């Protein structure tokens, strides 16, 4: 941090918050609020005189509340810049005017209560997100007695207790009697690897952190008795197994089993642990003077970064990389990279490695004279655009700029080409370059040209389902040959009209498939797929078509077997659809006002619109005004499930 602070080409903006990010790769505009410190950090020499006179005492957050600080303080010992700040809310409390003792005491006159927050606008080409992680609060695990017993502490509190810069200056003591404990227990996986309470994932760092702590303690207090309660020790990584063995050799006891109950002796405040030792199969009791809970890692709970940069999260809540193997530090938003525990829990070494990779990736981007954009991107036909802004709402990248009464505009550099905007546009106003609706309709036509009764029209997203089909093929897995694949970049590209069109052309079954919900390669574009297929099912039911004839399935690139199973199941469905049923569907859809907006060829003139209630099927003609129709309600059933059809 010191090096970064001194580097001539790095500007550190401490005590600042990013408020807004706009723009796209190579051209981000970032608005940062530099909060008022009320202390001139250039002049402050950190002499500490102001602290001595400050009358406000508060728990020190950095020391986990194990010591106190004043309202004017340095956030933590190695803070850069090493200058004081005033927490103005604590300083003033209920008083309208500060006491001013610190101002009187400061010889350098660097305290200024008139300082204001400053808004700084930055223009940057790339952004690296390294917002770290939070830690699990073990209070809900009642059996361990955290907060009930003073000598049960978390691993983070333990770190502060043994740190030279901590509240006890590195002297390891119990909180109840301030004596060095003679027996200490560590409980692993607190809040990790549990399907019931806490998190299902492994927090990666806790095992080696405990091994390190045990070695440290043994180094300073050779006679201390240490017992580690664990599920299994994960000592992967360079030199870690050696450390684990060394800790064992130094007398640290490892017991496979987690305490089911902890009780405190009210007189001695020592703790009794009831554990099933799963190695011996016996129920054991252990007594310790202090118990340390190795708490798990949580994704940072601050949700703003995700929204500001259009990032997506994996199921466990950490930021998702663009590709786990090929682009591990890129995010789906071009020009934005991730490093450290923002991506997943990891130790210092891995964080530094990943940060170096992210910096290198950003360096490559910034040093190239040109940025290549995707070939498949969206373009708006301004003549057809009805200025409704629906495309901008569904764009996962914020690549569509829209203002009321203005036609939408696509920022080509920010567009990743998922096509969900084109699927959402009800007016044919968005065209996907090299992947137009007409091309997709032509594919449906050619699939159903001969023996449509025997075919399954299957839409497969490029990154997962199509790759899953490839895996099934290369693995020579046997499955029925009836499915005809139409590759789309994302399942979000599948417009409802494609399915209507296929049914009208005689498809017995239509399959829409994509990546698993949190795995969409276009952030969360496949959430729109779910919404559209839901609406389609309702629509099919309304027109007397069995909704099972439209299937929605998720399949990843590695799931060849799953793909084979999906197609086998879909084929069974297809075989159950009779020619009469197909013919009836064809006729119904041809006779009714089913929203096949595109047919083959584009609408030249905007047609008058028809409103259709997706709940009860009621239809009525309107002159469509997007601004006025936002809150349109069905007059028949009073539902808001209203959709605009182009008549
Ligand atoms: Fe596969 Fe979006 S990329 S569903």
Model confidence at 490: pLDDT above 60:
yes
Q: 521 CB under 6 A from ligand 1? A: yes
Ligand 1 mean position, distance from CA 133 (Å): 27
**Cβ contact 397:444 at 8 Å:** no
Q: What percent of the chain has pLDDT over 90?
A: 75
Residue 127 Cβ contacting ligand 1 at under 6 Å? no
Given this model, what pLDDT does residue 646 score?
43
Mean per-residue pLDDT, 356-366: 96
Residue corresponding to tokens 């950095």? 62
Q: What is the DSSP letter of 385?
A: -
Question: pLDDT per residue over 620-637, tens digit each?
Answer: 666 555 444 444 566 676
Pocket test for ligand 1, best of 374, 435, 461 (most atoms within 8 A of CB): 461
600 band by pLDDT with thresholds 50, 70 and 90: very low
CA angle 171, 173, 177 (to 5 degrees): 140
Distance 552 CA to ligand 1 centre (A): 13
Report residue 363 as tokens.
């360096």
Residue recorded with tokens 């207790």:
161
Written as one string, the DSSP assignment of 440-500 is: HHHHHHHHTSS-GGG-EEEEEETTTHHHHHHHHHHTT----TTEEEEEESSGGG--HHHHH
Tokens for 603, please give them: 């609408």
Query: What is the pTM assigned to this prediction?
Result: 0.80
- Which residues, listed in sequence order, are joined to residue 32 by a DSSP beta bridge? 18, 120
- pLDDT at position 612: 62
d(CA 322, CA 331): 4
User: In 3-state terms, what secondary structure has residue 103?
Assistant: helix
517 C-alpha to ligand 1 centroid (Å): 8
Residue to substitute in 421, 468, 493, 526 for testing ligand 1 pocket (most ligand atoms within 8 angstroms of CB): 526
Q: What is the pLDDT of residue 162?
A: 94
Helix (H, G, I), strand (E, B) or coil at 501: helix
**Angstrom distance (rounded) from CA 26 to CA 411:** 12
Task: Return the H-helix or E-strand segment holding 352.
Answer: helix 348-367
Least confident of 34-43, 254-263, 570-579, 612-621: 612-621
User: What gap in Å lies between CA 67 and CA 73, rounded to an integer?
Assistant: 13
| Confidence at residue 324, expressed as pLDDT on a 0 to 100 scale | 84
Evaluate: CB of 525 within 6 angstroms of ligand 1.
yes
The domains located in the chain, with CATH, are 2-126 (no CATH), 134-298 (3.50.50.60), 378-432 (3.30.70.20), 437-591 (3.40.50), 607-645 (no CATH)
Strand order across the 282-288 sheet: 259-264, 271-277, 282-288
492 lines ligand 1 (CB under 6 A): yes
Mean pLDDT of 442-471: 95
pLDDT of residue 638: 63
CA distance 67 to 160: 10
Instruction: Quote the crossing angle between the two packed helices 206-220 and 240-249, to the nearest 10°.
Output: 40
556 lines ligand 1 (CB under 6 A): no
Instruction: Give buried/exposed letters for 2-14 (b at 16+ CB in 10 A, else e).
Output: eeeeeeeeeeeeb
The reply to whether ligand 1 has any atom less than 6 angstroms from the CB of 526 is: yes
């Amino acid at each position: 941090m010191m090096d970064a602070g001194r580097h001539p080409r790095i500007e550190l903006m401490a005590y600042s918050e990013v408020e807004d990010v706009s723009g796209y790769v190579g051209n981000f505009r970032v608005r940062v609020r530099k909060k008022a410190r009320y202390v001139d950090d250039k002049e402050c020499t950190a002499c500490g005189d102001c602290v001595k006179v400050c009358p406000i005492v508060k728990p020190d957050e950095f020391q986990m509340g194990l010591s106190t600080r004043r309202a004017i303080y340095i956030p933590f010992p190695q803070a850069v810049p090493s200058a004081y700040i005033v927490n103005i809310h604590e300083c003033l409390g209920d008083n309208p005017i500060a006491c001013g003792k610190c101002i009187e005491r400061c010889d350098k006159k660097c305290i200024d209560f008139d300082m204001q927050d400053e808004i700084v606008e930055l223009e940057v080409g790339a952004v690296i997100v390294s917002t770290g992680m939070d830690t699990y609060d073990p209070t809900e695990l009642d059996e361990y007695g955290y907060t009930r017993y003073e000598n049960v502490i978390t691993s983070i509190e333990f770190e502060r207790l043994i740190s030279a810069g901590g509240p006890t200056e590195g002297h390891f003591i119990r909180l109840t009697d301030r004596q060095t404990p003679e027996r200490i227990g560590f409980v692993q996986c607190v809040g990790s690897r549990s399907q019931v309470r806490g998190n299902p994932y492994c927090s990666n760092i806790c095992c080696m952190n405990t091994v390190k702590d045990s070695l440290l303690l043994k180094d300073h207090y050779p006679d201390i008795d240490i017992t580690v309660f664990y599920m299994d020790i994960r000592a992967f990584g360079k030199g870690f197994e050696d450390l684990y063995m060394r800790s064992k050799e130094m007398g640290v006891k490892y017991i496979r089993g987690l305490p089911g109950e902890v009780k405190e002796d009210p007189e001695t405040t020592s703790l009794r642990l009831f554990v099933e030792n799963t190695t011996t199969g016996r129920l054991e009791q252990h007594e310790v003077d202090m118990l340390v809970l190795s708490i798990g890692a949580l994704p940072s709970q601050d949700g703003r970064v995700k929204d500001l940069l259009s990032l997506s999260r994996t199921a466990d809540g950490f930021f998702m990389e663009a590709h786990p193997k090929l682009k591990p530090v890129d995010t789906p938003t071009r020009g934005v990279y991730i490093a450290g525990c923002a991506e997943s829990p990891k130790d210092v070494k891995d964080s530094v490695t990943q940060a170096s990779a992210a910096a290198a990736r950003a360096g490559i981007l910034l040093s190239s004279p040109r940025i290549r954009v995707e070939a498949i991107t969206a373009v708006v036909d301004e003549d057809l655009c009805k200025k409704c802004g629906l495309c901008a709402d569904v764009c996962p990248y914020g690549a569509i700029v829209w203002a009321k009464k203005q036609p939408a505009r696509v920022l080509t550099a920010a567009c990743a080409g998922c096509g969900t905007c084109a699927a959402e546009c009800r007016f044919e106003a968005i065209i996907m370059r090299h992947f137009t609706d007409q091309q997709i309709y032509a594919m449906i036509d050619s699939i159903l040209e001969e023996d449509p009764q025997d075919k399954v029209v299957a839409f497969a997203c490029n990154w997962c389902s199509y790759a899953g089909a490839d895996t099934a093929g290369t693995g020579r897995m046997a499955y029925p040959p009836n499915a005809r694949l139409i590759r789309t970049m994302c399942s979000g590209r599948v417009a409802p009209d494609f399915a209507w069109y296929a049914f009208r052309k005689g498809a017995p079954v239509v399959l829409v498939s994509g990546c698993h919900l949190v795995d969409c390669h276009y952030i969360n574009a496949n959430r729109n797929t779910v919404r559209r297929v839901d609406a389609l099912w309702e629509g099919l039911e309304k027109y007397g078509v069995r909704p099972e004839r439209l299937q929605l399935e998720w399949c990843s690139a590695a799931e060849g077997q799953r793909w084979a199973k999906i197609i086998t199941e879909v084929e069974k469905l297809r075989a159950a659809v009779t020619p009469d049923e197909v013919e009836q569907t064809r006729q119904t859809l041809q006779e009714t006002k089913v929203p096949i907006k595109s047919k083959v060829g584009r609408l030249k003139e905007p047609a008058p619109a028809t409103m259709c209630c997706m709940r009860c099927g009621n239809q009525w003609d309107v002159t469509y005004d997007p601004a006025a129709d936002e809150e349109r309600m069905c007059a028949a059933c009073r539902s808001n499930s209203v959709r605009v059809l182009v008549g």
